[in-house]
Amino acid sequence: MFEEEYDVIVVGGGHAGAEAAAAAANLGSKTLLVTMNLQNIGQMSCNPAMGGIAKGQIVREIDALGGYSGIVSDKSAIQFKMLNKSKGPAMWSPRTQNDRMRFAEEWRLMLERTENVDFYQEMVSGLLIENNKVVGVKTSLGINIKSKSVVLTNGTFLNGLIHIGEKQFGGGRAGERAATGITEQLVELGFESGRMKTGTPPRVDGRSLDYSKMIVQPGDVIPEKFSYTKTKPLTHQRDCYMTHTSAMVHDLLREGFDRSPMFNGRIKSLGPRYCPSIEDKINRFADKDSHQMFIEPEGWETVEVYVNGFSTSLPEDVQFKALRSVVGFENVKFFRPGYAIEYDYFPPTQLKHTLETKLVENLYFAGQINGTTGYEEAASQGLMAGINAHLKLQEKDALILKRDEAYIGVLIDDLITKGTEEPYRMFTSRAEYRTLLRQDNADLRLTPLSHSIGLATDTRMKRMEEKLEQSEALVNFFRETSVLPKDINPIFESVDSSLVKQSDKMYKAFSRPNVTMDHMLQLEDVSNFVKENNFDSEILEQAEVQIKYSGYIAKEKVNADKLHRLEAVKIPVNFDYSKLKSLSFEAREKMTKIQPVTISQASRISGVTPSDISVLLVYLGR
Ligand SMILES: Cc1cc2nc3c(=O)[nH]c(=O)nc-3n(C[C@H](O)[C@H](O)[C@H](O)COP(=O)(O)OP(=O)(O)OC[C@H]3O[C@@H](n4cnc5c(N)ncnc54)[C@H](O)[C@@H]3O)c2cc1C
């Protein structure tokens, strides 16, 4: 039924698995994607949206590296917003509302069109392991399939347990069964596992809502897109809406608290701190008698609607009664109740930077199985695991993104160095170098790296080079061209900036606060140069960011260089920390467990102090 031996078997066709399969196959590995339901590839388990703060940057990074999530999101988008546009460019975060069914369909089609990917629908119940090396998988039908490496991306499915009020039943997601066998085998092999929890709101019938009582939330007037390839931006969009809970809604929900698995001890594991359930919000913020709710369409045509902000595992009758008291929901009809799910994960400190496990060679973990939450976090790990599984088989150097190169680098370094005890989601605040890690320059940062390993195509690379060349030409134009007081002073006057008496370089004028590219385009020389060279909005934006934020960018580069110096100080493999008695006990214990590769990584382990680092530096002769 199968190839004699695959290069890579990817277990699970969620966001992580789909990206892992695409990356390994596009690099040339013979890849098999085994998943429990081939209809649900790239399924959005929770809200029908991609991106958002810090997550949008990750989608752009995935795209710049040659992954598919950005393209799939663009093709299935129904609304686009650039969040945080009023803040600096480091904070700009693209987000799409997506057609849930089309998103999954696009993923499936993209993978079907990818050479080297075979598909098989079944549950993987165990791994084939010989001499601490994975050599394939076994399925629940008892079939053994051989491979040189395996990427596990089981998401919320491992021993998944769904809770709705007092009812609980096995499941990996509503309507899908849980996966069994893998956790038990891995624990027997010496892996540590834990339990986490997440939840989702009810879905309702949009025809039963009164939108006239809600506040409309349209998309951007000029929608952008995720992918650096030639996907099309939206020409029309669907609106979302906003409404609020009230004291009455909270009272109705409180009536069910004694039957809530969150409060009666049935759910023991930790959920995502920044995505709390409505009962959690009412409990934690008892003084607030209103919370925002966003009403998001699930697609272009479907009437199903996602009730963002109302995630709950309260009994379905309590959910329904409370929802009917929300303004605009007086006649609401349910499609599906909200629920919570508990599942197994594996603390990610058991992984190397490549996402290969330390215990079993050629076995990789990616996605929610590593304690993360979110499609974007999962997809990016899948991409990196797929890339590194392929590179290792080819005996090539691993691709490890640094903390100043990508949010993906921050994510993986945080996971494997610090671990996580609650679902980890990305925030801009987790990145030390966020001025460098912007959504506008992900291609400039990452496409050359990906092209060098053969993943990003020549077309992508060429587009990136053109963008770099054109934006540099425009910055140089501002640097070299002077502007007369009579031309620039009206602009300065319009932004309350002091006037000048002598001509000066345009770059200097542009650097002033509140002077924007739109102002500069009012100058004839500038608009002529832009027209002559056919520069599009992407080039204008890139040049503007490079000029306006040059000081911040330069400062962060200096700090990043300092980090690189510490990254260069390598710690020998299997270093015996117990012999360094001047290290604190905690540092010895944690470094022995995590086995940091460099001094820089050691310094990021929680509990390792600057004096521990000094001891190590002295020992290593630095
Ligand atoms: C109820 C719920 C609520 C959520 N709420 C949020 C939220 O509010 N915010 C947020 O950011 N994220 C949320 N998430 C998480 C988000 O869905 C995940 O982070 C993301 O889908 C993880 O991607 P993944 O690829 O790791 O796993 P998944 O998307 O879960 O995909 C796992 C895939 O693996 C397959 N699989 C599993 N085990 C096996 C096996 N043994 N053999 C074969 N195939 C297997 C499954 O069929 C599935 O296709 C929620 C998830 C759920 C279920």
In the reported structure, the alpha carbon of residue 14 is separated from the centroid of ligand 1 by a whole-number distance in angstroms of 6
Give the per-residue pLDDT at 270: 83
The answer, yes or no, to whether residue 622 has pLDDT greater than 70, is no
pTM: 0.95
Q: Which atom of ligand 1 is nearest to the CA of 176?
A: 47
Lowest mean pLDDT among 103-112, 192-201, 276-285, 473-482: 276-285
Which string of b and e fits 273-312 if b means at least 16 CB within 10 Å? eebbbbbbbbbeeeeeeebebbbbbbbeeeebbbbbbbbb
Of 256, 244, 238, 240, nearest to 329 by C-alpha is 244
Q: Is residue 406 packed enough to be buried (19+ CB in 10 Å), middle (13-18) or exposed (0-12)?
A: buried
Tens digit of each residue's pLDDT (9 = 90 or more) over 51-71: 999 999 999 999 999 999 999
Class of domain 458-555: mainly alpha
| Fold of domain 568-619 | DNA polymerase; domain 1 (1.10.150)
What mean pLDDT comes out for the span 387-403? 97
DSSP 474-487: HHHHHHH-EE-HHH
- At 7, give phi and psi (nearest 5°): -75, -50
Is 281 assigned to a binding site?
Answer: yes
Is 272 assigned to a binding site?
Answer: yes
The answer, yes or no, to whether residue 272 has pLDDT greater than 90, is no
In the reported structure, the alpha carbon of residue 185 is separated from the centroid of ligand 1 by a whole-number distance in angstroms of 21
Lowest mean pLDDT among 38-47, 431-440, 554-563: 554-563
Is 16 assigned to a binding site?
Answer: yes
In the reported structure, the alpha carbon of residue 480 is separated from the centroid of ligand 1 by a whole-number distance in angstroms of 53
Q: How confident is the model at residue 598 (pLDDT cuts 50, 70, 90)?
A: very high
Rounded distance between C-alpha atoms, residue 192 and residue 573, angstroms:
22
In the reported structure, the alpha carbon of residue 340 is separated from the centroid of ligand 1 by a whole-number distance in angstroms of 13
Is 285 assigned to a binding site?
Answer: yes
The answer, yes or no, to whether residue 477 has pLDDT greater than 90, is yes
Q: Which H or E run includes 152?
A: strand 144-152
Q: How far is CA 274 from the centre of its chain?
A: 15
Structure-block tokens of residue 548: 């306006």
Q: Is residue 536 packed enough to be buried (19+ CB in 10 Å), middle (13-18) or exposed (0-12)?
A: exposed
Give the per-residue pLDDT at 554: 93
Testing ligand 1's pocket by substitution, the residue of 10, 156, 177, 377 carrying the most ligand atoms inside 8 A of its CB is 156
Backbone torsion region of residue 419, taken as left when φ is above 0, otherwise alpha when ψ lies between -120 and 50, otherwise beta: left
**Which 3 state secondary structure label does DSSP give 507?**
helix
Give the per-residue pLDDT at 72: 98
In the reported structure, the alpha carbon of residue 306 is separated from the centroid of ligand 1 by a whole-number distance in angstroms of 17
Is 280 assigned to a binding site?
Answer: yes
Is 279 assigned to a binding site?
Answer: yes
The answer, yes or no, to whether residue 73 has pLDDT greater than 80, is yes
Q: Which CATH number fits domain 203-336: 3.40.50.620, 2.40.30.260, 3.40.50.970, 3.20.20.140?
A: 2.40.30.260
What mean pLDDT comes out for the span 148-153? 98
First and final C-alpha spacing in the chain: 57
Mean pLDDT of the chain: 95
What residues are paired with 240 via a beta bridge? 217
Of 115, 137, 133, 136, nearest to 124 by C-alpha is 137
**Which 3 state secondary structure label does DSSP give 11?**
strand
Q: Which atom of ligand 1 is nearest to the CA of 158?
A: 38
Rounded distance between C-alpha atoms, residue 247 and residue 311, angstroms:
17
Residue nearest to atom 50 of ligand 1 (CA): 46
What mean pLDDT comes out for the span 247-259? 94
Residues 60 and 94 sit within 8 Å (Cβ to Cβ): yes
**Which 3 state secondary structure label does DSSP give 531?**
helix
Q: For the chain, how many helices (H) and strands (E)? A: 21, 22
Cα dihedral: 252, 257, 260, 263 (round 10): 150
Pairing of strands 6-11, 144-152: parallel
Angle in degrees, CA 42, 46, 51, rounded to 5: 70
Pocket of ligand 1 (CB under 6 A): 11-17, 34-37, 40, 45-46, 123-124, 153-157, 172-173, 179, 182, 198-200, 275, 341, 367-368, 373-375, 378, 425
Indicate the domain borders of the chain. Answer: 203-336, 458-555, 568-619
Structure-block tokens of residue 325: 């008291």
Give the per-residue pLDDT at 226: 98
In the reported structure, the alpha carbon of residue 620 is separated from the centroid of ligand 1 by a whole-number distance in angstroms of 43
Give the per-residue pLDDT at 269: 84
Lowest mean pLDDT among 39-48, 110-119, 256-265: 256-265
Give the per-residue pLDDT at 452: 98
Rounded distance between C-alpha atoms, residue 415 and residue 372, angstroms:
8
What mean pLDDT comes out for the span 274-295? 92
